Chain A
């Protein structure tokens, strides 16, 4: 257990340090989601009332697309210099690598959300009518739902041709219930229209089910060569 944690922490720190020095992923994600926000606001031009209804969808679609940018780069770094092969032959537990990568993506996407959320508020003149603090669990659970499966499917699409296009094709169908829960919960909270509890519980269930599945099957995927 301690080796799992120390390896996970080591990989995570290495990834964060690399990202901190290059800032490749976060910059491209930020710019990408900024573009999505601007294009959406041109295409819909909503008033404040409509904004509350559609903002949940816009925010999460923007984050989903931006997350794919980061997720696609997750494993690319490890392919160079055969790092992944070295990892495969080492006795280190496969799940330590997975947890580190998923956490790294989680931190990256959360950072993006923290930076982009104020911008959304400004561009769409949003003000939550419901309990705004509930947006925090929705964001945490929703982000984890996206990155846990995203990290897994990114590892899966490593073995395919044109893997950059493969990841969204695998990730989006499976993510439909999670995306729907995030969007509905955000809409309910922003419009102050009832309780978002059902959707938060559903997101939590999704997270638990797929985190378990990922941890159970990652070894198989990593060893697939």
Chain B
């Protein structure tokens, strides 16, 4: 697995460069909006990737609550973190596009508001994980993830009642799209998903390593520096020479 990482990283980088080239030079110019429409190739793939990651977070949280698997919890944490980043990209690129096209930065439209609320829920999820440092954090976070998932359809319906201004969804909606544009969009989505997967993977390994390290430090603090048996966790931890930290137990 370790060896596959650089290969995948290079492939993703190439894919991202290709997708960038396609989005800026190959994709046809939009008739009414002009070049500003090209932000769409970043906005929509980021949104899809963010929603995918939030879905992964929900599934991992449910898996954690059922089987109490620490790996599922790490997946949930990682997907929420990366998902928030992609969701932020969506919320930033949206207004940049909307200002010249709609003439306003923001409107309380159904998709904008739902995305914003989703972002708020996942930020509160990350805040909870940050503020809670007991061994019960995964349980609390998983429960919150389920509450967040239950909330999203309600948010959607509550805003559905207002007039909607956002363009119809490109896939499965009323809008139509040039096949060349769709092609560029899908390439960009593929590139962004690969990139997200790569970051998640990296972050996941880091998270597992960090947990091993904390475990080792806790053990060290319990037993003292002398006469510590070489546990697997200690042997793996890169910082086992550091003095034990009080209060990590």
| Nearest B residue (CB) for A205 | B154
- On chain A, the residues within 8 Å of B144 by CB distance are 156, 170
Interface flags for A193-225 (1: CB within 8 Å of B; 0: not) read 000001100100110011001000100110011
A166 CA to B124 CA in the complex, in Å?
Answer: 9
Interface size class of B (residues with CB under 8 A): 20 to 34
- On chain B, the residues within 8 Å of A161 by CB distance are 131-133
Interface flags for B128-164 (1: CB within 8 Å of A; 0: not) read 1001111011011001101110110011011101000
Q: Are A224 and B136 in contact (CB under 8 A)?
A: yes
A134 CA to B104 CA in the complex, in Å?
Answer: 36
- On chain B, the residues within 8 Å of A176 by CB distance are 117, 120, 151, 155, 158
Q: Are A202 and B154 in contact (CB under 8 A)?
A: yes
A216–chain B nearest beta-carbon distance, Å: 9
Q: Are B140 and A224 in contact (CB under 8 A)?
A: yes
A173-B117, A174-B121, A176-B117 as given contacts; A221 in contact with B150, CB under 8 Å: no
Name the contact of A180 in the complex, choosing from B127, B133, B137, B158 (C-beta under 8 A). Answer: B158
- On chain A, the residues within 8 Å of B139 by CB distance are 220-221, 224
Is A159 at the interface (CB under 8 A from chain B)? yes
Name the contact of B154 in the complex, choosing from A156, A173, A177, A184 (C-beta under 8 A). Answer: A177
Label chain A's interface by main secondary structure.
Answer: helix
Name the contact of A174 in the complex, choosing from B65, B132, B133, B147 (C-beta under 8 A). Answer: B147
A176 CA to B132 CA in the complex, in Å?
Answer: 23
| Nearest B residue (CB) for A180 | B158
- On chain A, the residues within 8 Å of B146 by CB distance are 213, 217
* A residues adjacent to B (C-beta < 8 A): 149, 156-157, 159-162, 166, 169-170, 172-174, 176-178, 180-181, 184, 198-199, 202, 205-206, 209-210, 213, 217, 220-221, 224-225
25 residue pairs from A and B, CB less than 8 Å apart? A156-B128, A156-B143, A159-B132, A159-B134, A159-B137, A161-B131, A161-B132, A166-B131, A173-B124, A174-B124, A174-B147, A174-B151, A177-B157, A180-B158, A180-B159, A181-B158, A206-B154, A210-B147, A210-B150, A213-B150, A217-B143, A220-B65, A220-B139, A221-B139, A225-B134
